[in-house]
Amino acid sequence: MTSVQRQRASSAAQAALLRVDDLAKSYGGVHAVAGVSFDVPRGRITGLIGPNGAGKSTALGMIAGAIKPSRGSVLLNGTNVAGWPSHKIARRGLARTFQRSSDFSGMTVMENLLTARYGQRGDTLRGALLGRRYWRAEQESLTARAADLIARFDMARMANEFAGTLSGGQRRLLEIMRALMTEPEILLLDEPMAGVNPALGARIGDYLLQLRQDGLTMLMVEHEMSVVERVCDPVIVMAQGEVLAEGTMDQIRSDHRVLDAYLNG
């Protein structure tokens, strides 16, 4: 490797908040993910697309710690977190949303947000013994953050409604807000537009662009190509457990391998 190549590689490593290298997962003799490698640059929304069964959600699960990889590395801010439990990775600044809502249906929107933050003083034995004076300031700060998110996502009128009464799209918003309560450095989104009507989907796209403008890094699995084209750059295409192509949507569209994968997937 020349000095110029080393310099470029070093610059790429610094620009990538998340770096996935040869990440694989096998179930018996079946390769769900067959050694994928890609970077997620800071301050961008990276799209992860591909036909059904391409391995996108499995890759996301390994990155987030929900699935233990068979091999490979996941460098988060330079630290290899591959195989770490999800709560440890979350404490490193990574949050994730799911295809199916993970909220508490019997709790209000506000209560769901307040429970999303891990390691609260009031949840410990020490907090119980020392009482309200020990954890009041933290609780007030979390309540203010929750209220700010509720206002930002235009959910003020739903703040005291039970999560179970929300529409599918509103529960998607709640899922994103719960992830943001942890103040992540990177957010993984697993099909945030699934089951959402077009109007609300456009709003969610607006919110994601605002979050990107604020500096949040995101990796998003999504099937709705109009949304991917609008908010994602770069875009990574997976097929049959492998990375097939990377680039802008214009570049992806002109790649015959991608067209073949979607037609035959």
List, for residues 134-181, the tens digit of each pLDDT value. Answer: 445 656 778 888 999 999 999 999 999 999 999 888 999 999 999 999
Q: Is 43 part of a structural domain of the chain? A: yes
Pairing of strands 30-41, 16-27: antiparallel
192 within 8 A of 205, measured Cβ to Cβ: no
Instruction: Report the CATH number at residue 206.
Output: 3.40.50.300
Sign of the dihedral through C-alpha 2, 7, 11, 16? positive
Q: Is 63 part of a structural domain of the chain? A: yes
Q: Which amino acid is at 107?
A: M
d(CA 98, CA 154): 21
Q: Is 60 part of a structural domain of the chain? A: yes
Q: Is 85 part of a structural domain of the chain? A: yes
Q: Which domain holds residue 45?
A: 16-93+184-264
List, for residues 61-96, the tens digit of each pLDDT value. Answer: 999 999 999 999 999 999 999 999 999 999 999 999
Q: Is 166 part of a structural domain of the chain? A: no
Helical H segments across the chain, by residue range: 3-15, 56-64, 86-90, 109-116, 125-130, 132-152, 168-180, 198-213, 225-231, 249-253, 256-264
Regarding predicted confidence, which is higher, 261 or 192? Answer: 192
Q: Is 228 part of a structural domain of the chain? A: yes
What is the percent of the chain where pLDDT is above 90? Answer: 59
Using a 10 angstrom Cβ sphere, with 0-12 exposed, 13-18 middle and 19 or more buried, the burial of residue 92 is middle
Residue 191, CA distances (Å) to 98, 161, 169 in order: 7, 24, 12
State residue 57's pLDDT score.
Answer: 93
How many DSSP H helices and E strands does the chain contain? 11, 10
Q: Is 152 part of a structural domain of the chain? A: no
List, for residues 107-129, the tens digit of each pLDDT value. Answer: 999 998 988 766 544 454 454 54
Number of domains in the chain: 1
List, for residues 19-75, the tens digit of each pLDDT value. Answer: 999 999 999 878 899 999 999 999 999 999 999 889 999 999 999 999 999 999 999
Q: Is 215 part of a structural domain of the chain? A: yes
